[in-house]
Structure 1
Amino acid sequence: MRSYLLLLISTTLFLSCDRIIEVTPAQKDRPLINYVNPFIGTGGHGHTYPGATMPFGMMQLSPDTRLDGWDGCSGYHYDDEYIYGFSHTHLSGTGVSDYGDILLMPSTTINFNNGADGNAGYRDHFSHDNEIAQPGYYKVHLDSTNIDVELTVAERSGVHKYAFAKADSLRNYLILDLDHRDEVLDAKVDTLSTTELSGYRHSKAWANKQMLFYYIKTSHPFKFMKQSSSLLISKKGEKANKAALKFDNPKNEPIIIKIGISAVDESGAKNNLETEIGDKSFEEVKQEAQAKWEKQLEKIIVESSNTEYKTNFYTSLYHTMLAPNLYQDVDGRYRGMDLEVHQTTDFKYYTVFSLWDTYRAAHPLYTIIEEKRTNDFINTMLAKYDEGGIIPIWDLSGNYTGCMIGYHGIPVIADAYIKGIRGYDTEKAFEAMIHSATRDKLGLKVYKEFGFIPVEEESESVSKTLEYAYDDWTIAQVAKEMGDGEMYETFIKRAQSYKNVFDPETGFMRGRMRNKWFAPFDPFEVNFNYTEANAWQYSFYVPQDITGFTKLLGGKKMLEKKLDELFTAESQTSGRDQADITGLIGQYAHGNEPSHHMAYLYNFINKPWKTQERVHEIMTTMYHDAPDGISGNEDCGQMSAWYVFSSLGFYPVTPGTSEYVIGKPLFDKATINLENGNQFTITAENLNEENRYIASAKMNGSAHPYSYLKHSDILDGGALTFEMSTSPSRWGKHPAHSPKTEIKDHLFTPAPFIEQGDIAFKGETTIVLGSVEKDAEIYFALSKKEPFKRYRKPITISQPTTLRTYTDTRHGQSTVIETQFFQINENLSIQLDAEYANAYNAGGNDALIDGIRGTVDFRTGTWQGYSDQDVIATLDLSKNQTINSIEVGFLQDQRSWIFYPTEVSYLISQDGKTYTEVFKENYESSKKDDAIAIRNITATPNTNARYIKVVAKTVGPVPEWHLGYDYDGKAWLFLDEIVIR
């Protein structure tokens, strides 16, 4: 009898109330790999790939159908009709492109053109009707050449199998393309024998320098090797980026290509192949790969009559196991963050940590089903700390990508530590956590100084403040567990920094620009204050202190009202187009990670049935058995981890605690098979489409009134049983039975903010100060020399001033905040005959004459931005006077679609009707230039005038070479400070 029919026939026994309770674990009805559909996520914006790989393996052997573009990040998109070849590394669900290394393509002709320019090239047409994808295996028929391709893998090596048509027995060719996709820094192809090749490809894309080596062994000898740059046969040591092999195959047998890869060297690639695959046949490798996947998927068994639910579940579980990726040879050698070779046999070394995404649910899932691997992940992070200086934020092949925000390796370590997973140097881990949190980059310098990040100091200031605060809370939990009172106090105070970006008037988290709330404010607007989100999608992000956040809103009823509004708001955003914001239910955006915990917040306010309603809605509308069955980028397992957890019936709202918040189970029964040998079984009795509410729950036979469970409940094994009903019940309603996160000690005082008043003003301005704390006393001083006095009424300022303020409460004094006020010449006014974007208003209508200069980072809010329009600005000096010079500043950041103007002209007038041109200059602004720079354009007319008109002409549609060209992108003009002397 097959092994899968024998799995889990045992019965779990445990004692409850002096009686023995019998629980039969969930059983599988067929091999679990049959429920995995690797095509889910390959359409829409899922950015997954369908090819063969191993759980957390180094090699991802998959077809490439797309060379560039955002929806080509994985190299494959379901809408495509041509395959360019089969490369050996791919990223799963990312929003940035990389990999696609060592492309191989069987062919019946020799043509080094990949077909991207419309020529036939070596690409080949295919149909999904002739395509199969399974865990560890992929097969496709190439229509144009009539070749059948099969792929399978081991961890660091893979096998291609090509069956050519009989008519082409003399034309068995293989194209090797090292130029495919990324910029190649260096590459080499060596012919070692008539059946062996080796070499390397060093490339630049998301990773600045990715180093990959390969060794290829062919089943049949090849008679010659043709290079793209030469017709000569390659000799050892001779470099060529493209080559063609012609096989000697008179019997027209299947051609077998075996390949090993390594980040260390060519000998490492050969050793990986020989150790893992050696003389094994294609079928043997495939069977081993699929057996390992079956064992991997057996970590969780679910029962349901709904096949689509099971397909979604096992595909999601499969996706959570595609990254991080092994990045170490079989002998223990690996390339570290210093790009040097290191060696260890103490743990396995990994790369591709998409931590801004995966710390939320994927890594907490690993603490349940991947304890040993979690220790390896953390040991890897500590090695990267030694090699590169910090715990990685988003590392790729030994490179820091500089992508995303926070320092989210820290909560991964903290979550594991709090749950008792400690197979690493815990003291060193604590040192690394503190070190990473005390740097000065990415806004940390001002965050440490002020307790928040001002808009003008760092982009995405609100999101960074909120994410840093949570990360700091996880450090505090480890410090407390370790008995380090000093570090606990430091970081538990920093964990309250979220209060400094909470606007009590609107109830949203908002940017503070020069200590004023960024305005005009639209919670639907996607702008540079948030990371891939708007105010709706970040204002609920306080998982470490939901009680404190609830108090700021005004209590549980207000949080409930705010959550209801979130899910019922109009499903449209304003401001910047952000492709990541997808899967909208109101303003809840399931397609992006900041929203993932929100549906579970109802449990914290004693309304668990609302969590059950929303979680069921998300599970059944945002996940489908279809190529576009994921509502956003899969993001290296996070989108799928949400589904795995939620369908089991619980979710880690706050990693760093040992608790999970209960939602609503999707399966009749599910069993988690733990590494310690225990089993935890979740049963939902009377579950159906109508019975979606939890009427009651039992843990190991005893009543479980709590709407949460503990990590130890799972690890100890046993059974959680839900009784389902058609309507909400009182289960989980009592406050004592609800989850809670609350910061109770070392409370800090938020800094005061400016409620009213103009930073740049004419004549005078009246300043009104405010505080998040209702009982706070605010103090101020109007210069650095003046003593502070208590604020009791609005302050009038009539000259350039530096305002200093702080708040005092029973918890202590806040940080002192300094704000510089600028006085605009009363005789100067400006008229704008173009409409700036609200997100880039830089302070409003007078921003171009307010005396505040823009920095090179446009996202700090100091530049005024105009999309797809010429800018015409007319200054009125109030009287005729001598104009010695006119200067206007322009910004260039072409990657952000910001171009210098193509033409700038200055005109002057004495009556405001008749204008004379005194300066005009044209610029090659559409020419590609990666530099982020400021250009001040100056004219010296030395003549009298009252009116000055500045005209700057836009590039218009972005040039053909630009990434945005295929999306009909329009260029932006960014101006700041028109200076008249």
Structure 2
Amino acid sequence: MRFRILLFLILAICFSCKKDVTTLASGDYPLVNHVNTFIGTGGHGHTYPGATMPFGMMQLSPDTRLEGWDGCSGYHYDDTYIYGFSHTHLSGTGILDYGDILLMPTTSVNFHNGADGKPGYRAPFSHDNEKASPGYYEVHLDSTNIDVALTVTQRAGMHKYAFANLPAGEAGAENQFILLDIEHRDILLDGSINILSDTEISGHRFSESWAKEQKLFYYIKFSQPIKGDGTLFYSHFKEGGGAHSDEKPIKGPNTKVALKFDNPNNEPIYVSVGISAVDEAGAKKNLDTEIGNKTFEQLKQEAQDTWEAQLSKIVIEDTSSTNKTNFYTALYHTMLAPNSYQDVDGRYRGMDQEIHQTTNFEYYTVFSLWDTYRAAHPLYTIIEEERTNDFINTFLAKYDEGGILPMWDLSANYTGCMIGYHAVPVIADAYMKGIRDYDTDKAFEAMLHSATRDHLGLEAYKEVGFIPVEEESESVSKTLEYAYDDWTIAQMAKAKGDMKTYNTFIQRAQYYKNTYDPSSKFMRGRVRNTWFSPFDPFEVNFNYTEANAWQYSFYAPQDITGLTKLMGGKEVLEAQLDELFTAESQTSGRDQADITGLIGQYAHGNEPSHHMAYLYNFINKPHKTQEKVREILTTLYTNEPDGISGNEDCGQMSAWYVLSSMGFYAVTPGSNTYIIGAPLFDKATIHLENGNTFTIQALNLSDENSYIASAKLNGEPYPFSYITHEDITKGGSLVFEMTDQPSSWATDDAHIPSTEIKDQLIVSAPFITKGDIAFKKQTEIVLETVDPAATIFYSTTGNNFQKYTAPITITDAETIHTYSEREGQRSITIQTNFYKIDENLTIQLEAEYANAYNAGGNDALIDGIRGTANFRTGTWQGFHDQDVIATVDLGSAQDISSIETNFLEDQGSWIFFPTEVQVLVSSDGKTFEVYKKETIEVPSFTDKVTIKTVKGEEKRLGIRYVKLIAKTLGPVPEWHKGHPYQGRSWIFVDEIAIK
């Protein structure tokens, strides 16, 4: 903390003489003028334009959209109405949380927001009358003629409302209202509005959305008094629902209040707001400490000066004003999250929902770690070392309070979102770079705890070396990302001298190999030790996280050399990368809004692709990296509202730009190595916290001269296509000579980067390439392994294994045990159960199931394999927006006593029970009689996953055919989140069991 204060003083001194000092570095100050806060507010960027401080607690911004995926930040550039100005927002996420404590100046009282087009308190606005810069926002509300300006401190903010064109005196004062709405946005669990005096209000808002228990307290001061005649207008929920308005507070939780002001001279009304996650006293103290008696203009200037100091950490020089805007907006976006979650006195709300206190570090929330471990946190290790220590101390506090390191935490809530345990690589990367101002032993303990739990597929991952499809959804992605996280644990263990832990986790780091299918050269799901099929690498399905096989099959950053060997060598990897960037830019299967910014199947709008352009460096083709990186920088980042190709994701998309535009990228956080691409600017200077500077300069740079001809590090020839963290932090210069043609620079084997696991090499388990898990007469089983030097062994009992030399034919239900062996070392043994279907049974489907939910194919409903509550494990057959009609032929007339089938409901995934189920029977296949009929009511909302069995029990003689008809709900109900998008429902069915 002392170092941070010292740094602030140094920067403050610099700004007092910046014409003499900083102009020499950039020649173009202030840098805040290059930030366009509207970049990312259009398209799917999900950013907000309002006022906030670097990593600040408050994000004071306009709200223009109440729901929908593109309303996640509360603002979208396409909108034309503002509902008000709330104090918390998320930057670039895909979730609808926050939007707390909405204030709206108005000239009349109406508690309806007007979202349905009826009169309400929302007001139209024009972008022509809207301005924003770091720490500041202003807009004119057209219908009420009110000018609004906003600025902030870390934990507080000030609104300025000027009621334009109103006459002075009582006539004008009669029409000055401010509406406070604590019902706005998230589901309101509890709230209060307390009128403390004619200039002060306090209260709280507890809400639920993605984070289930969000608690926020507020304290508000007005510069003008609330009108003294006691006229206060309230809106609240009546018992039994519905809204009510009255001129006096009445019993019940008030959710809205309209305040009329005594302002006869029509002066601007200033509204100061402090917030806290602790209590109202904390909100007041935050307000009094950070705002006190300061004026709006003083606060605005302090915010701008703070942002200027932040942005000055990297100074670029370039002739293109667009490049400068894109860069400094990106740098600005990397500093919007994580958010401070601690009051000025050090108190904060922990993951246990209890109040804690510390002054040893700053406590944060909003860690979107699946996104940000890739580039944002590596960037912070360069320009935010002290804050990186605070981030990790925060992780450890959350570990103490909640029992586990965060994955995606929000407002003292574990959200359970995304995959991996990516606090682990953030800690390991910092530790390996010498950033260690935290309890490193506790950090290591917490890392091991995250990696050794038995949830989210980890139990199977530890047992068999990958996650089977039938055990856990998104099995391929989770296996790959766990393996990388495990590698970072191994690196830290080795650095600490713990070789036992190192040996364990360096082996686990190789488990990515168990998802690689050599026949297709893709990472594929393994279901009952067979490859998930039919296989389409373009298909987005439940085997991958927000991606398809193209977008995950290059993910082994911890062992790129090993992956290259696995794929068949550098030429094969190069060809596969080339095809990635030139493939058709369409996906199949499930619609995934996050897959955007496509160049071929490279999806820059989503994080799993972010390292791929740099892989060419590892195979001696750096010029291809230079080409792809330049294309991404110049086509997928623009100075427009939709200038980000996907969700900004709490700084990750922008951190990719910041690093890549300077000329390097962290492909493997934890390795201390950055892979060189090509600089976009003439010069970039990094001002480090240790007082050193590191400069990247590009000579002869132009649109044509985008290739590196040669490089020098600190004046010496530099032939390597990578640079280390130490090279940067000790200061110096990296100078590139640019040319218009690919060169031989960094193409020798001795000069290319490498991440390679060389010891404790595992033997990959064999897999089944041919053979039906559920079969009729017989099935032939073919076993293979990814390791051509390994020998495969198998057994039907688990004992007396024999060498596999030829296909195995089985005619009855059987269990096959297999393992591979190389030079006396064995792989994990895998057990696979095979099921025999009555060979007389056949089934005819008159509806088309989705390939992603095929459950094994045409015979899935008669194969004897039952589905679990998790539909993503692939045991349910899914039908979209259509009736399910299936006819089972028993092969001959038989006497039956019962027929049953199962259906799944998972409303959050748009899966609903059918509205009606009919089971019909026939002896000739032509004339059918009803055996069982059941009507299922249209559901009300539930977040529970339910399996419903429809069963008929009646003895019937001479039955050969059984027909199932399940009628679809069709459009999702009006209350469902998919209704605004005209969403259509799914039916998931499993097993028609006939006795």
- What TM-score does the superposition give when structure 2 sets the normalisation length? 0.96
Aligned letter for 1:893?
Answer: D
The correspondence for 2:572, drawn from 558, 574, 583, is 558
Distance across 2 between alignment mates of 1:343 and 1:468: 33
The correspondence for 1:796, drawn from 795, 809, 828, is 809
User: Which residue number in structure 2 is paired with residue 189 of structure 1?
Assistant: 193
The correspondence for 2:943, drawn from 930, 944, 953, is 930
The answer as to whether partners of 1:4 and 1:31 remain within 8 angstroms in 2 is no
Q: CA deviation at 1:78?
A: 0.6
- Assess, with a 3 A threshold, how the Cα gap between structure 1 residues 148 and 8 changes in structure 2: closer, same or farther: closer
Q: Which moved more, 1:123-132 or 1:913-922?
A: 913-922
User: Which residue number in structure 2 is paired with residue 617 of structure 1?
Assistant: 631
The answer as to whether partners of 1:183 and 1:204 remain within 8 angstroms in 2 is yes
Distance across 2 between alignment mates of 1:615 and 1:820: 47
Distance across 2 between alignment mates of 1:966 and 1:725: 52
User: Which residue number in structure 1 is paired with residue 859 of structure 2?
Assistant: 846
The answer as to whether partners of 1:906 and 1:950 remain within 8 angstroms in 2 is yes
The correspondence for 1:210, drawn from 209, 214, 218, is 214
User: Which residue number in structure 1 is paired with residue 152 of structure 2?
Assistant: 153
User: Which residue number in structure 1 is paired with residue 322 of structure 2?
Assistant: 308
The residue correspondences of 1:332-411 to structure 2 (distance < 5 A) are 332-411=346-425
User: Which residue number in structure 2 is paired with residue 87 of structure 1?
Assistant: 86
Q: CA deviation at 1:894?
A: 1.0
The correspondence for 1:661, drawn from 665, 670, 675, is 675
User: Which residue number in structure 1 is paired with residue 757 of structure 2?
Assistant: 743
Distance across 1 between alignment mates of 2:217 and 2:186: 15
User: Which residue number in structure 2 is paired with residue 15 of structure 1?
Assistant: none
- What TM-score does the superposition give when structure 1 sets the normalisation length? 0.97
Aligned letter for 1:112?
Answer: F
Distance across 1 between alignment mates of 2:825 and 2:391: 40
User: Which residue number in structure 2 is paired with residue 887 of structure 1?
Assistant: 900
Aligned letter for 2:96?
Answer: S
The residue correspondences of 1:491-890 to structure 2 (distance < 5 A) are 491-784=505-798, 786-810=799-823, 812-890=825-903
Q: CA deviation at 1:25?
A: 7.1
Deviations 1:765-805 (A, max 9, x none): 11111101101111111124x42111111111111111111
Is the partner of 1:536 in helix, strand or coil? coil
Distance across 2 between alignment mates of 1:107 and 1:896: 40
Q: Which moved more, 1:812-821 or 1:318-327?
A: 812-821
Aligned letter for 1:100?
Answer: G
Deviations 1:396-452 (A, max 9, x none): 000000100000000000000000000101111111100111011111111111110
Distance across 2 between alignment mates of 1:279 and 1:351: 29
Distance across 2 between alignment mates of 1:5 and 1:537: 49
The answer as to whether partners of 2:273 and 2:287 remain within 8 angstroms in 1 is yes
Distance across 2 between alignment mates of 1:192 and 1:5: 41
The correspondence for 1:231, drawn from 222, 242, 246, is 246
Is the partner of 1:942 in helix, strand or coil? strand
The residue correspondences of 1:316-327 to structure 2 (distance < 5 A) are 316-327=330-341
The answer as to whether partners of 1:771 and 1:807 remain within 8 angstroms in 2 is yes
The answer as to whether partners of 2:173 and 2:261 remain within 8 angstroms in 1 is no
Is the partner of 1:133 in helix, strand or coil? strand
User: Which residue number in structure 1 is paired with residue 129 of structure 2?
Assistant: 130
The residue correspondences of 1:435-446 to structure 2 (distance < 5 A) are 435-446=449-460
Q: CA deviation at 1:810?
A: 2.4
The answer as to whether partners of 1:5 and 1:29 remain within 8 angstroms in 2 is no
Q: CA deviation at 1:906?
A: 1.1
Q: CA deviation at 1:907?
A: 1.0
The correspondence for 1:451, drawn from 438, 445, 465, is 465
User: Which residue number in structure 1 is paired with residue 432 of structure 2?
Assistant: 418
Distance across 2 between alignment mates of 1:881 and 1:330: 78
Is the partner of 2:558 in helix, strand or coil? coil
Aligned letter for 1:866?
Answer: F
Q: CA deviation at 1:8?
A: 9.0
The answer as to whether partners of 1:748 and 1:811 remain within 8 angstroms in 2 is no
Are 1:273 and 2:284 counterparts?
no
The answer as to whether partners of 2:14 and 2:21 remain within 8 angstroms in 1 is no
Are 1:913 and 2:937 counterparts?
no
User: Which residue number in structure 1 is paired with residue 914 of structure 2?
Assistant: 901
Aligned letter for 1:144?
Answer: S
The correspondence for 1:220, drawn from 195, 220, 224, is 224
User: Which residue number in structure 2 is paired with residue 177 of structure 1?
Assistant: 181
Distance across 2 between alignment mates of 1:883 and 1:723: 82
Deviations 1:192-222 (A, max 9, x none): 1110000100000011000000000100110
Q: CA deviation at 1:191?
A: 1.0
The answer as to whether partners of 1:25 and 1:681 remain within 8 angstroms in 2 is no
The correspondence for 2:272, drawn from 247, 258, 261, is 258
Q: CA deviation at 1:811?
A: 6.8
The answer as to whether partners of 1:9 and 1:27 remain within 8 angstroms in 2 is no
Deviations 1:524-581 (A, max 9, x none): 0000000000000000000000000000000001110000000000000000000000
Q: CA deviation at 1:62?
A: 0.3
Q: CA deviation at 1:173?
A: 0.3
Is the partner of 1:364 in helix, strand or coil? helix
- Assess, with a 3 A threshold, how the Cα gap between structure 1 residues 25 and 489 changes in structure 2: closer, same or farther: farther
The answer as to whether partners of 2:540 and 2:592 remain within 8 angstroms in 1 is yes
The answer as to whether partners of 2:708 and 2:738 remain within 8 angstroms in 1 is yes
Distance across 1 between alignment mates of 2:27 and 2:652: 25
- Assess, with a 3 A threshold, how the Cα gap between structure 1 residues 443 and 28 changes in structure 2: closer, same or farther: farther
Is the partner of 2:367 in helix, strand or coil? coil
User: Which residue number in structure 1 is paired with residue 32 of structure 2?
Assistant: 33
User: Which residue number in structure 1 is paired with residue 138 of structure 2?
Assistant: 139
Q: CA deviation at 1:120?
A: 1.5
Distance across 1 between alignment mates of 2:173 and 2:735: 62
Q: CA deviation at 1:133?
A: 1.0
Distance across 2 between alignment mates of 1:684 and 1:7: 25
- How many residues of Structure 1 are paired with residues of Structure 2 in the alignment? 967
Is the partner of 1:545 in helix, strand or coil? helix
Distance across 2 between alignment mates of 1:681 and 1:845: 62
Is the partner of 2:196 in helix, strand or coil? strand
The answer as to whether partners of 1:8 and 1:27 remain within 8 angstroms in 2 is no
- Assess, with a 3 A threshold, how the Cα gap between structure 1 residues 811 and 697 changes in structure 2: closer, same or farther: farther
Distance across 2 between alignment mates of 1:574 and 1:948: 33
The answer as to whether partners of 2:136 and 2:150 remain within 8 angstroms in 1 is yes
Q: CA deviation at 1:2?
A: 12
User: Which residue number in structure 2 is paired with residue 20 of structure 1?
Assistant: none
Deviations 1:724-767 (A, max 9, x none): 00001110101111110000001111111111000000011111
The answer as to whether partners of 1:190 and 1:238 remain within 8 angstroms in 2 is no
Deviations 1:355-374 (A, max 9, x none): 00000000000000000000
User: Which residue number in structure 2 is paired with residue 17 of structure 1?
Assistant: none
Aligned letter for 1:843?
Answer: G
Is the partner of 1:222 in helix, strand or coil? coil
Q: CA deviation at 1:467?
A: 0.1
Are 1:979 and 2:989 counterparts?
no
Identity, % of aligned positions: 68
The answer as to whether partners of 2:129 and 2:140 remain within 8 angstroms in 1 is yes
Gaps of 5+ in 2: 1-11, 237-244
Are 1:428 and 2:442 counterparts?
yes
Q: CA deviation at 1:931?
A: 2.0
Is the partner of 1:940 in helix, strand or coil? strand
User: Which residue number in structure 2 is paired with residue 62 of structure 1?
Assistant: 61
Aligned letter for 2:715?
Answer: G
